[in-house]
């Protein structure tokens, strides 16, 4: 169970797990042995709404940083999830087929999307944000969205 940075904006609470790295778009990357586990952040799942379907690219698919690694359809929108790193998809979360709502319920845990075999993790990780840096980005985005409500 990771620790979280947490902020409240309007009536919403947003969390950032402190044990992983992030893209500014709200995709996380977590070292897990030789592989990198990826998923979307709490802000992304809350902003996107209830998940109806999630489809992860098939195992073996080679992705570059920024390529779509998964697509998520929610009651509000369709979200293309850009890969935070380059590599080959090793495994898709099987929960995405039958219970994709775990993305809403547990975005940093059971709601992970895929494992990626990284092609150059040492380089890619340097381009990602640490939790504190992403927290600042996330908070600014959440506050900006709250103004629209």
Report in angstroms how near the CB of residue 86 gets to other proteins at its nearest. 31
Report in angstroms how near the CB of residue 51 gets to other proteins at its nearest. 9
Residues 6+ apart with CB under 8 A from 99: none
Number of C-alpha atoms within 13 angstroms, CB side, residue 66?
A: 1
Which residue, 54 or 69, has its beta carbon nearer to other proteins? Answer: 54
Report in angstroms how near the CB of residue 131 gets to other proteins at its nearest. 27
Which residue, 14 or 135, has its beta carbon nearer to other proteins? Answer: 14
Please state the φ and ψ torsions of residue 73, each to the nearest 5 degrees.
-105, 125
Which residue, 75 or 122, has its beta carbon nearer to other proteins? Answer: 75
Interacting residues with other proteins (CB under 8 A): 49-50, 52-53, 75, 101, 104
Which residue, 67 or 73, has its beta carbon nearer to other proteins? Answer: 73
Report in angstroms how near the CB of residue 97 gets to other proteins at its nearest. 11
Q: Which residue has the tokens 């890619």?
A: 124
Burial letters 94-128, b for 16+ CB under 10 A, else e? ebbeeebbbbbeebbeebbbbbbbbeebeebbeeb
Q: Which residue has the tokens 């092609």?
A: 119
């Amino acid at each position: 169970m990771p620790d979280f940075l947490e902020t409240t904006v309007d009536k919403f609470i947003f969390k950032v797990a402190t044990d992983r790295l992030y893209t500014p778009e709200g995709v996380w990357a977590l070292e897990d042995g030789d592989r990198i586990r990826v998923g979307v952040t709490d802000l992304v799942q809350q902003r996107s709404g209830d998940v109806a379907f999630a489809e992860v690219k098939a195992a073996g698919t080679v992705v570059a940083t920024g390529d779509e690694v998964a697509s998520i359809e929610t009651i509000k929108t369709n979200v293309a999830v850009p890969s935070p790193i380059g590599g080959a998809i090793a495994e898709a979360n099987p929960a995405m087929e039958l219970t994709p709502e775990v993305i809403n319920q547990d975005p940093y845990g059971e709601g992970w999307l895929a494992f990626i075999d990284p092609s150059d993790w040492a380089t890619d990780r340097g381009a990602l944000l640490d939790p504190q840096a992403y927290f600042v980005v996330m908070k600014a985005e959440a506050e900006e969205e709250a103004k629209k409500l």
